[in-house]
Amino acid sequence: MVPHTEDKTSAALALGSKIRALRKRLQRTLDETATVAGISKPFLSQVERGLATPSITSLVGIARALGVTVQFFVDTPTEGKSVRRADELRFFSFADSANLFARLTNVQGDRQLDAILVKLPAGQPPSEVTTHAGEEFLYVLRGEITLSLEGTTFVLHAGDSAHYESTVPHGWANTASDETVLVWVGTPRLF
C-alpha cells in the first residue's frame, strides 16, 4: 500500500522540524551541519522545511553531524515510552527505610531525568546526608519536610519546592505529625 501524499507531507514536516529544532538547540548553522553531514546547505534547508525527504544515507549523515542516532529522528513517541498511567503506580520501599517510593517516569531509553513520588511517614529519623553528581528538585504535595543543604535548614510546606545541586551535602526529614508526600525529580537516574 502506498502512503497518501498527506501522510508523506506530514512525516516530512515532522522529520524536518525535529532536525531544525535539534540543530538550533545545538547552535549549529545550516552550513556547518550540511558540511559535516556531507549534503548541500540548500538540501538541508529543504529537509528542515519539509520540502524534501532525505535518503537513509543523508539522514545518517545529519544524525552524525548533530551527535545523535538515526533513531532520534524516526522513533515516534508511544504511550509506553512517554506516559505513566495512575493505575500503573506501584509503591516500593528499601530495607533500611520506612519511606514508600513510586516511579513517575518510565525507565525505557537513555533519559537522564528521574521523577519519584515519595511518602514519608511521620516520626521517621532524617535521611542520611549525602552527595552525588546531578541536580534535585523537590515539590511538597502534602505535609512538610525539613531540608538540610550543606548544614542550612529549610522547612518546606505543601506547595513549596526546592531545587539544588546534588553535590551539596543534603538530607531531608518529615517534620509533620502526619505523612508527608512529595515529588522528587533528579538527574541522573537513581536506578
pLDDT score recorded for residue 165: 92
Q: What is the pLDDT of residue 161?
A: 97
Residues in the chain: 191
Cell numbers representing residue 61 in the block: 549523515
**Digit-coded pLDDT (tens) for 53-70:** 999 999 999 999 999 888
CA–CA distance from 181 to each of 101, 113, 144 (Å)? 10, 20, 8
Contact 170, 131 (CB under 8 A): yes
Q: How far apart are CA 145 and CA 158, in angstroms?
A: 9
Q: If DSSP states are collapsed to H, E and C, what string results for 92-131?
A: ECCCCCCCEEEECCCCCCCCCCEEEEEEECCCCCCCCCEC
Cα Rg of the chain (Å, integer) = 23
CA distance 78 to 101: 25
What integer best gives the mean pLDDT of the chain?
Answer: 86
Q: Which CATH superfamily is domain 80-187 in?
A: Jelly Rolls (2.60.120.10)
pLDDT the model gives residue 5: 53
User: Per residue in 137-188, pLDDT tens?
Assistant: 999 999 999 999 998 999 999 999 999 998 999 988 998 899 999 999 988 6
The CATH class of the 5-74 domain is mainly alpha
Asked whether the predicted pLDDT for residue 30 surpasses 90, the reply is: yes
Above 90 in pLDDT, residue 190?
no
Higher-pLDDT residue of 187, 80: 187
Asked whether the predicted pLDDT for residue 126 surpasses 80, the reply is no
Where along the chain do the CATH 2.60.120.10 domains lie? 80-187
Instruction: Give the residue range(s) of CATH 1.10.260.40 domains in the chain.
Output: 5-74
